[in-house]
A and B are shown apart, each in its own frame.
Chain A
């Protein structure tokens, strides 16, 4: 004693969710948020019930991609995430608006725990999490608090980005966490180096997403988002996830 009562309830809150997929990377700026958001939309368009959870506390951006504005939070023994484009959507942005929110390690952990405790997700086939970059507090806390997370890792063709991805893969392996595979985003040249390197790690190469300069124009428009090169590739990834899901049912 004293005991923090919050962590005892977290897995209870997630009990109605079939699969939890953390879209992650060792490096920032590789397109995690776009991949996470588009993957969530794509799964929803395949008839799945999907949630999108933005855990990039200091640099959230999925609300901009989805053009989330003036949504009111519904309280019902906690908070029921508002639905946007068919996704149950939760982000710290509801609580801080445009204000910068500088958080240190313990604050990050506390904010994460509080969000996990207070959010009342419905019955979902998939909860897609947009992770912050790196191997910091959020990834360590999620692995500690939620035992059944799977990781989908995003990299760019840059070997600098991939070097940080390797560190993340090693950490996740040490923690015995499942990795769905690695997707190569913003590809501009014809090179197989990331595919080869992914193979060396013994992981599945989920494919390449060509650099699409028009993707910025799709921000805030669901139909446009679903017609980007990102969406085209993620339809295949979603198909793979749904096949696994079908086999497991």
Chain B
């Protein structure tokens, strides 16, 4: 159900950007979701469609994926993390707050939990198309 909170945030942002850019109608919204947060794209899409109104009433929603890449700050190792390997409880915690990954994931080379999330963290509003 976290996807509903994200959908609400996305639509609020879309409205703000559309107002800043003087768009009278939004026709397409592109969102990229990071694998680390395990956002269920069908639920997010459903939530967006249920909540859409006003200037984005007729908008299409493109929801793209981003692989989660982590980089160790200690040894410099970069690796793609497959969240599906994670146990259910920890994966759910990371779903809500991706930063808690630091409590569960260690560098695949040196074992440090001091790593940077290079990509695939959470939700980003990537592009908005519309008519002025």
- How distant is A68 from chain B, measured CB to nearest CB, in Å? 16
| Binary flags per residue of A80-121, CB closer than 8 Å to B gives 1, else 0 | 000000000000101111011111100110110011011010
A229→B97 CA distance, assembly (Å)? 37
A99→B90 CA distance, assembly (Å)? 11
Assess whether B61 is interfacial by the CB under 8 Å rule.
Answer: no
Assess whether A2 is interfacial by the CB under 8 Å rule.
Answer: yes
A96→B98 CA distance, assembly (Å)? 11
Assess whether A69 is interfacial by the CB under 8 Å rule.
Answer: no
In contact, A117 and B98 (Cβ under 8 angstroms)? no
In contact, B125 and A78 (Cβ under 8 angstroms)? no
A12→B9 CA distance, assembly (Å)? 10
Q: Which residues of A contact B25 (CB under 8 A)?
A: none
Assess whether A201 is interfacial by the CB under 8 Å rule.
Answer: no
Given contacts A5-B10, A75-B2, A110-B98, 10 further A-B pairs with CB under 8 A are A2-B127, A3-B125, A5-B31, A6-B9, A8-B12, A95-B96, A101-B103, A102-B102, A110-B121, A117-B5
In contact, A95 and B8 (Cβ under 8 angstroms)? no
A-facing residues in B103-132 (Cβ within 8 Å): 103-104, 113-114, 117, 121-128
B-facing residues in A1-57 (Cβ within 8 Å): 1-6, 8-9, 12
18 contacts between A and B (CB under 8 A): A3-B17, A3-B124, A4-B124, A5-B125, A6-B6, A6-B9, A8-B12, A12-B8, A75-B2, A78-B1, A78-B4, A95-B96, A96-B100, A101-B103, A103-B102, A110-B98, A111-B99, A114-B122
- How distant is B123 from chain A, measured CB to nearest CB, in Å? 6
- How distant is B113 from chain A, measured CB to nearest CB, in Å? 6
In contact, A8 and B99 (Cβ under 8 angstroms)? no
A6, A76, A103 interface centre (most CB from chain B within 10 Å): A6
Assess whether B67 is interfacial by the CB under 8 Å rule.
Answer: no
A9→B40 CA distance, assembly (Å)? 20
Assess whether B16 is interfacial by the CB under 8 Å rule.
Answer: yes
The number of chain A residues with a CB under 8 A from chain B is 34
Assess whether A218 is interfacial by the CB under 8 Å rule.
Answer: no
Assess whether B63 is interfacial by the CB under 8 Å rule.
Answer: no
B12, B17, B98, B103 interface centre (most CB from chain A within 10 Å): B103
| Binary flags per residue of B1-42, CB closer than 8 Å to A gives 1, else 0 | 110111011101110110000000000000110000000000
Assess whether B55 is interfacial by the CB under 8 Å rule.
Answer: no
In contact, B9 and A101 (Cβ under 8 angstroms)? no
Q: Which residues of B contact A114 (CB under 8 A)?
A: 96-99, 122
- How distant is A106 from chain B, measured CB to nearest CB, in Å? 8
